[in-house]
Structure formats: C-alpha cells, structure tokens
Structure 1
Amino acid sequence: MINILIKAVGENMKNKVTVISNMYPTNEHKSFGVFVKNQVEALRNKGLAVDVIAIDNPNKGKLNLLKKYGKWAFAFFVHLLFKGSRTSVVHAHYVFPSGWLAKWYKKLFGARFIVTAHGGDIDKMVKKSGRIFNMTKTILAEADHVIAVGQELYTTLESEFGVSRDKLSLINMGVNLDVFKVVDKSAARLRLGIPQNKTPLLFVGNIIEQKGLNDLIEAFAVLKKEQPDYELYIIGSNKDQGYFQKLETVIAETGLKESVHFLGTKQQAEVALWMAAAEVFVLPSHLEGFGLVALEAMACGTPVVGSNVGGLKYLLQQGNGMLVEAKNPAELKNALQTVLGSEELKQKLIRKGLEMAQENDQNIMTDKVINLYQLQKQKG
C-alpha cells in the first residue's frame, strides 16, 4: 500500500511548520529519506509543531509513480485547503518536485519558504529535461532561503543556478549522537553474531550502481585473497533489482558468495551497532550530496574510506578519513589495505572522525535551521 503522510503534533497548537518531502521512511522502508524524518523529530523535540506531507514508498514503475505522486498531490491540496493558513514556515526537502508544492504556501498565505537541496535533485533530476531545469531554477529563485547539505552543492547552487549567498546556507542534516556512538567493537560484534576471528568491512547505502558497489566488490576480491579473515557487510535498500542481480553474478564469479553479506535495511539503532562493530566503513560513491552515513560511522568510532566526490571530499579531507578517486578499484583497495594495516593510522582517523561528528551534531544543525525559519517574525 502506498501511504501519504499528513502528520501533526499537538492538535491544540497552531501549526508553525509544514515539511514537504518526496522521501520519508516507514517500518517497511526504513532508510527511505530517514534523514528527513530525523530532522522533523529533532524540530519537534525542540518544541515546534510540524506537519509532514510526504511520499513514504520508494517503489518504481509507471503505475506506482502515478499512484504515489497522485496521492501526494491530493494530500497536499487537502492540507493547503484546511491547514495552509496556519503554516508559518513551509520547508521542502528536494528542490523539485517538493519545492513546487511548497511554494504555494508562500503564494497563498505568505508562509516563509525554505528549501533544502540534497544533491540528487541538482546532480541528476535537473538533467532529465530542460523543463525540470527551468522549474528548479524558478523554485530556487522564489524560495526565501535555500539550504545546501554539502559544500560542492552550495557552490553549484550559487554558480549554476544564481542563488545569492545572502539566501544560501550550508547546513547538513547532522548526526544524532544519541544513536550513533562508540561501542566496544568486540561487544558489538558479539551482539551481531560476527565471528571474533573475522574482520568486518561495512557499506551502508542504497544498492545502486552510482554508490560504487562494483568498485567495492572488485577491490574487496583482491583484499580477500590477501587477508582471508576479511568479510564485507552491506546494509541498504535493493532499489534496482536488475542491478542487484548483476551484482550478485559478479560476486559469485569472483568467489565471494560466502564473504559478502547483504543485510537489507535496518533501523538506525542497529545500523549504528554495525558501524561500531566494523573495522572500517567504506563509501565508494560516484555521486554524493553530503555523505551523512560517513559522518554517522565517524560518530561510532570507525575510520572511513570514501570517494573524492561531492560532500565527501570536504567531509573526509584534512585527515578526517581516507579519500580515493571514484571508479578506481585499485586505489580503493590500496586505501583500505593502508587503513586496515596500520593501527596508528586507524586511531588517528577515529580521533579526527569523532571530532568531526561533534562539530556536526544534529542539535547544532537543527538550531541553525530553526534560526532560518525566523518564526518570531512570522504570523503568530
């Protein structure tokens, strides 16, 4: 079933914030836009009343798309009609299509219009057609403020879409340090059933080609021959069945079927435990808006190896992690081997990573977002 969310907290409170997103998680689809839900909950924890209008089903196919986007649009119109005048701030996640819906709260009711660009909307969506590019540019121009989750995305919004610096902020989604935290690795591995004579490597993300999983498998195949105790664990949603089958074929052909473990999606607390248990976290993406999962791994006291793309190039620079060129399995293998072979380097990366996680605490980032809402200046 395709569910569209209209959730409110505090029936007796005047709704201040309406969040619109084309991604939102459920128990069935745990990772689908979970970062949006995390921010919504953080806003509510700080006393804000928040409504959410979101798609919570990642299923593709023409019929599914028609159903879920149709229901999303219907839920939007119902909310706009009955609660639109109570919205002081509307916050869209992903410029298009969420921003196109959100802008009507500003047009009709004068709500302050905030939009967060996450990367895929700018790196991929705008390239689908000239019409989407122009609509994206219009939404960004009409927004009162634009948030970029990564430095490269910030630069792109300014240089290619003409968003002026006075209405552009760099604020990532932040890491929840109450969930993502250091746990003794031996204890974490025991709880997860990882044999003590194995060394776990971890990837977390959607199982799609642009996450660099082919590169990871190729690099891991070489590592495994040199270090038989290495095991690769993959947590993430199987969003492309065709690609997943091809990946399984590659794994079988390289003799890794017993050493590569697909764990599916997990609740965040369990993801955090896997991150704490891992000897190294690897994110070999070809595109990455910010790379929040890398920051979450840092918070769990695990060194990170990631591609020199998007937000990762800034997140992992200056010794916070190990950067490698995207689509380069040989370099990826060498970086993993370097980290795994040096206790001194591992401890340095862990220390720097923990510092970076503290600087990007979700509470700090949420406060920055709330400041942009300027609720005290909005209608009461």
Structure 2
Amino acid sequence: MRIDVVTPWYPDHASVFLGVFVQQQVTALRSKGHDVNVEVAQIFPGPPGPIPPAVHEAMHRHAAQDVDAVYPTVDGATWIPCPVPARSGFAGRADAFAAGIAAKRRFLPTDGEITHAHLGVPTAAAVLDLGDQPVVVTEHQSTLDFVLDEPPARDRYREAIEQAAGFYVVAGHLRDRLIAAFGPEVTDRIDVIPNIVDLTDIAFRERDHERLDRWIYVGAIAAHKGTKLLIEAFLHHRANHNPHATLTIVGDGAEGRWLWNRATEAGAGDAIRLLGPLPHHEIGPHLSEADLMVHLSPAETFGIASLEGLGAGLPVISLRNGGAEHTWGSIESIAGVLLDVGSGAPAVSDSVAELADAPQRLDLASARRHVEVTYSASAVADRLLAAYTKAMS
C-alpha cells in the first residue's frame, strides 16, 4: 500500500521528541512492507494580514533552482515551509498548510493511494481538497479545546469529520469531547486507534516496591505538564516521608530554571538530576535505575511516558487527566495510583508512601503485558492498515 502521511510534527535534529508517535507509526507501517511518504508542514510565522505574493514567488524560484534547499527530505520525510500570518488562528493555519503543501507537490508530487492526516485542524482541513485519494485522520493534539473554541476552526473541524473517509482519536476521552462538541450525529464517524508504545529499548526489571526512593519524570518541564506540582510533591515527600528520595527528570522546558531554584532553596538541589531531553533509546537505562514514575500533567491526550514506565516495571503515580484513565485505568489496581485532577502536593506525596506500604498489590509484569498487547507497533499498525483498507473500499 502507498500511504501519504501529513503531519505538523516529526522528529528532527532540533527536537528528538516532536512527533515521535507519528514516526513510530511510519516505522511500523514500513516494517510491514508498505511505502510511506511523509510531509511535515512547518509553521513559518509572518506578520498580520495576507502573506505577500512575493514570498510565495520567491519560494517557487528557489525551489526551481534547488528543490532540496526549500523542501529538504530526510529518511522519506519532507519538511514544507508554510508562511502563516500572525493572529490568523487555527483556520488560517489550515489555509497556510494547504497553500504550502500544494506548492511543494508541484515540485515533489505524491502518489499515495490514501492520505493519513494527523490532526483534524489544521492538517486534515488543509489536505481534504488537495487530491482525490481518501483521507484518514488521527486526532491527538492537547490544544483541541482551543481549536474548538475558535468558530472558523470549529466549522472546519466539523467538515473534516464529515468529509474524512475515517476519523480516529488516540483515546476515548477525545472521542467523548468531539461528540460533546458536535452532537451525537458524529458518534458513528469517530473511532479509537491508540498511539504506539515502543518497549524495544525498555527492559523490564523486577523491583522491591517497598522502597520507592528513586522518582523519575520524563517529559517537558512546563506548566501544562504539572512540573510545579511534581517538585512540590517531591519536596513534601522528602520532608514528611522519605528524606532519601531522589528525582530524575528527562526533558527540558520553560520551568527548568524555576524548578532547580525551588529545589535548591529547599535544600534538595543535590537530590535532583536534570538530564535534559534524550533520544528514545537512551531513556530505558534511566527507567531501569528508578523505582517510581510520577507524571502529574492535568491533561493528556494519551500519555506515552506513563505506559513506558509501566513497561519498565515502574509503578506510576498520575492524575485522571484524560489519557491516563483511558490507557491504563483498567489496571490501576496492579500498576499504581490515579489521583483526581486538582490534588495537591500532600496528596501526591502521601500516595507514594501508601503505595510503598502495600507493595503486594502491584503486578508490574502483568502491566507490561497489557502495554505490549494493546499498544505494540505491530498491533497498532494492523489497526491502521484495516482503517486504510476500509477507507479505500
């Protein structure tokens, strides 16, 4: 099968995490012998108002002279510059993506039998009218509510649901959100195909769960990921339960300096390791060294990091943030603790202590099997291929 994947996110040398879930799907489909071409629509911010025609004309001239300079291709993925006017919203972004992708295809055409667009708006809205092949959509953006709050984008989103040959979300709570937004008439048009959770480089290790000394968090250090709550819970735990606790953070972000300063002021600077972002294959050893994953994002579309933690044999403390309860809520009793969104640092800290006091309830070997069976690359690729076949029939 020839598949065109269109996405605003894909890993590159500047960001090894960005869109890794899209890359994992592409790799899984290619491993089954399918031809997958990837187009990555990149936002190039412009001033308010329409993009001057001279900008597009200049890009056309440069592409005619050196197509690789304008549309670089690496490992079957082509990056497409899309000038986007400031303050044009998500609908304006969709229009910019459509113009950019159409311009690229004049130089580097695609021949896919089907298009797989990641995100309803802007991406699916951009490609629905660019070709005759059926379009399958996967929705997994954490900014979905902002998209739906914008009337022009909301209208484009409804059109994407209605016109797509298949519309999928990565977890059930996103389906519920879209049904609430657009009414029961879209219920039968939306189904769930999860992200891949790749445990290839993540070894399972049995642990003594009576000692949950070594915490780990993997993800962005940012407000929307709950990292302020993470550090406050960690400091509370050291002060009230376990003065030997340590915290390893894999990732970076805007709150990194604040987090370090807060820990240092509390006398816990030596107990925290900030490793920065790491390639996926380098994360496994750090998971093996840890005793517990704590992930306190208040909202997650899916939540791959927590599932990778379970795959490594780590109990997980998380919030009922949408993704967590839909991906591993059914095995919470053997895998960790899910707290209500809004829980404070003492509640998180106390839940770690309570888990250490009752380790006999944990069965992380079964938790890993749950992740392998449900979210393996082969299983998800088979579901995608079934969706493509249905869309083309």
Alignment TM-score, normalising by the size of structure 2: 0.78
How many angstroms apart in 2 are the aligned matches of 1:280 and 1:101? 42
Gaps of 5+ in 2: 52-79, 85-95
Shift of 1:297: 1.4
The verdict on how the C-alpha distance between 1:85 and 1:222 changes in structure 2, with shifts beyond 3 A counting, is closer
Kindly provide the CA deviation profile for residues 216-273 of structure 1, in whole angstroms up to 9, marking residues without a partner as x: 11110011223222111111242xx3x4333333333322222222111111111122
Change (3 A) 1:159 1:62: same
SS at match of 2:37: strand
> In the alignment, which residue of structure 1 is the partner of 2:89?
none
3-state secondary structure, aligned to 1:97: helix
Which is greater in Rg? 2
Select 1:164's aligned residue among 183, 186, 211.
186
What is aligned with 2:204?
182
Flag the 1:357–1:56 CA change in 2: closer, same or farther, 3 A: farther
Alignment of 1:347-358 (within 5 A): 347-348=362-363, 350-358=364-372
Aligned counterparts of 1:93 and 1:276: Cα–Cα separation in 2: 32
5 Å-filtered alignment, 1:139-150, equals: 139-150=160-171
Q: Please point out which of 339, 343, 347 is paired with 1:331.
A: 347
Quick check: 1:19–1:90 contact (8 Å CA) kept in 2?
A: yes
Q: How does 1:1-380 map to 2 (within 5 A)?
A: 16-55=2-41, 68-70=81-83, 73=97, 76-81=101-106, 86-105=111-130, 109-127=131-149, 129-162=150-183, 164-183=186-205, 199-225=213-239, 226-238=241-253, 241=254, 243-318=255-330, 319=333, 320-328=335-343, 329-345=345-361, 347-348=362-363, 350-360=364-374, 361-374=376-389, 377=392
Structure 2: distance between partners of 1:341 and 1:69: 54
Q: 1:198 to 1:172 in 2, by over 3 A?
A: closer
| AA at the equivalent of 1:332 | V
- In 1, the alpha carbon distance for the partners of 2:206 and 2:11 equals 29
TM-fit CA distance, 1:124: 3.5
- Distance across 2 between alignment mates of 1:290 and 1:130: 26
Q: Please give the alpha-carbon distance, in whole angstroms, between the structure 2 residues aligned to 1:377 and 1:144.
A: 8
CA 1:375–1:132: 2 relative to 1, 3 Å: closer
> Equivalent pairs: percent with the same residue?
21
1:62 Cα offset (Å): 6.7
Query: Residues 9-53 of structure 1, C-alpha deviation per residue, up to 9 Å, x if partnerless?
Result: xxxxxx821111111112331111111111111111111111111
Provide TM-score, normalisation by structure 1. Answer: 0.81
> Contact between 1:152 and 1:310, CA under 8 Å: does it hold in 2?
yes
Amino acid at match of 2:163: E
Count of matched residue positions in the alignment of Structure 1 and Structure 2: 341
Letter of the 1:137 partner, please give it: R
The Cα shift of 1:55 comes to 4.8
Q: Alpha carbon RMSD of aligned pairs, Å? A: 2.9
Partner secondary structure for residue 86 of structure 1: coil
Amino acid of the residue matched to residue 323 of structure 1? L
For 1:321 and 1:198, locate their aligned partners in 2 and report how far apart those are by CA, in whole Å.
12
